[in-house]
Structure 1
Amino acid sequence: MDETENGNLSSDYIAWTIVANVLAKQMNMAGPSAAYNGQAPLSEAQMKRIHDYFFGRLHGGFQIAELAATLGMSRTSFFKRFGRTARVTPNQYLQILRVEKAKILLRNENLTLIEIAFACGYADQSHLARFFKRYVRMSPGRYRSKMREEDVA
């Protein structure tokens, strides 16, 4: 290093190195951030991306590794943070979205239950009915009747 007339570059370099080391130690003493160690919930923007990802896959399966990679995190970190945020597993979240779509489609009297089941990604009407009862606590047919009664009233 060249030394200048007004100062000693090597002493400036040493001073800045000491400052950098002290700051680095201070940062490490605080421990990793909650977002880095998988303890923080997912952000609204991340949940929107997840929602859009699942909504685009109502008719098929999904890969946790693929979804985690789109968010730039590991499968384990994604699974922990998703559970902390949504309070359900990714598969349960997908089923909830399917049932929510079914609830909307059940308002259309022209669609049969089998058509609605297929539109929501279910293999058949009984598959739709099983999940629908689990999440809504009534059959799709009963839900449709109830919505019809509410629309008339």
Structure 2
Amino acid sequence: MALMNHRNRQQPAVVPEPVRRIEAGPWAIELLPGAAYATRYVASQSAIGFAFDSQRGVHAIGSDRVRPFDAMPNGLAFVPAGCDVMSESPMGGEYLRVIRTDGIALAGEHAFNNRIDPQAIHLASRMRRALLNASVDDDWQTWALALAERTEGKDTLSLQGSITGNRMRLLDEFIDAGLDGPLALHTMAQLLELSEGYFIRAFKQATGKSPHSYLIDRRLARARALMRDSRASLAEIAFACGFNSQAHMTSAFKQRLGVSPAQLRAGSRHIPAIGKKPNQW
């Protein structure tokens, strides 16, 4: 399960993208970059999370039983106040965390993750774009409240259908191995022993997005990692991630993230917190 609250991140060989955070009224909002993490805590406040990437590791949520987890991309998550949490992931994934800090409890008594909600996907993506652009002129309180409402009044179990955690892992490994070239839908479907039409429908049900859209997200994630971890030119990075050109990659960045690769690379070194940084969440 992708985690909310303090992450004691393992130190990578390179400096990761910065954590981007903002305080807006009673809300504290963070965008955590993809990185390995290990954490254990008792949640002092209930928290909402959103996993942009698939994540894998081990966790124990509300119990002392440690077991493997697979967090699906675009999965909404919730941890109630007082819940015991332990979680570790060797890779992690980009993650949005939203906490109400004024003592008013969020609705919900049970922890969950992997809930696919189209409105939550739209809200989380919009908040990520704003955080990457370091803007304080957005309607943060409205967005946070709307995202909190998506955690209420639903069954806490997600129906993944044919795209199980194991199949998602297999697909991720296949995509990551071939990101520097074209990847056809029918090839991905064959890998999972599904027809192309069924694969598209099942993938959308499990992740809230099309396989093509997910493939672009994986290319962008790889590009961001290379921008951070190497001195390669943006043109070299574009081709290494399967984009036709640097202009093609730039267009995808602006459309999905609201910022160009050059802007993100230049700004990541010295991104201050937006608004007032809380001392402890």
Q: TM-score range by the shorter chain?
A: 0.5 to 0.7
- Runs of 4+ displaced beyond 6 Å: none
Q: 1:93 aligns with which of 197, 204, 214?
A: 214
More helix as a share of residues: 1
On the 8 A contact 1:117/1:128 being kept in 2, the answer is: yes
Contact 1:41 1:84 in 2 (8 A): no
Change (3 A) 1:111 1:63: closer
* Partner amino acid, structure 1, of 2:217: I
Shift of 1:109: 5.9
Q: CA RMSD in A?
A: 2.0
1:116 to 237, 246, 249: 237
Q: Deviation at 1:41? A: 5.0
Query: How far apart, in 2, do the equivalents of 1:116 and 1:146 lie?
Result: 18
Identity among equivalent positions (%) equals 28
Tell me which amino acid in the other structure corresponds to 2:249: L
Q: Is the 8 A contact 2:171 2:191 kept in 1?
A: no
5+ residue gaps, structure 1, are 1-38
Q: TM-score, normalised by structure 2?
A: 0.37
2:199 partner letter: F
Aligned residues: 113
Report the equivalent of 1:42: 163
Name the one with the larger strand percent: 2
Q: What is the distance in 1 between the residues matched to 2:183 and 2:251?
A: 21
Q: TM-score, normalised by structure 1?
A: 0.66
SS of the residue 1:55 aligns to: helix
The separation in 2 between residues aligned to 1:111 and 1:67, in whole angstroms, is 29
1:128 offset after TM fit, Å? 0.9
Task: Give the conservation status (yes or no) of the 8 Å contact 2:181–2:241.
Answer: no
Per the TM alignment, residue 104 of structure 1 is displaced from its structure 2 partner at its CA by 0.9
Q: Which has the higher contact order (CA 8 A, sep 6+)?
A: 2
Structure 2 unaligned segments of length 5 or more: list them.
1-159, 273-281
Larger Rg computed on CA atoms: 1
User: Equivalents in 1 of 2:162, 2:195: separation in Å?
Assistant: 15
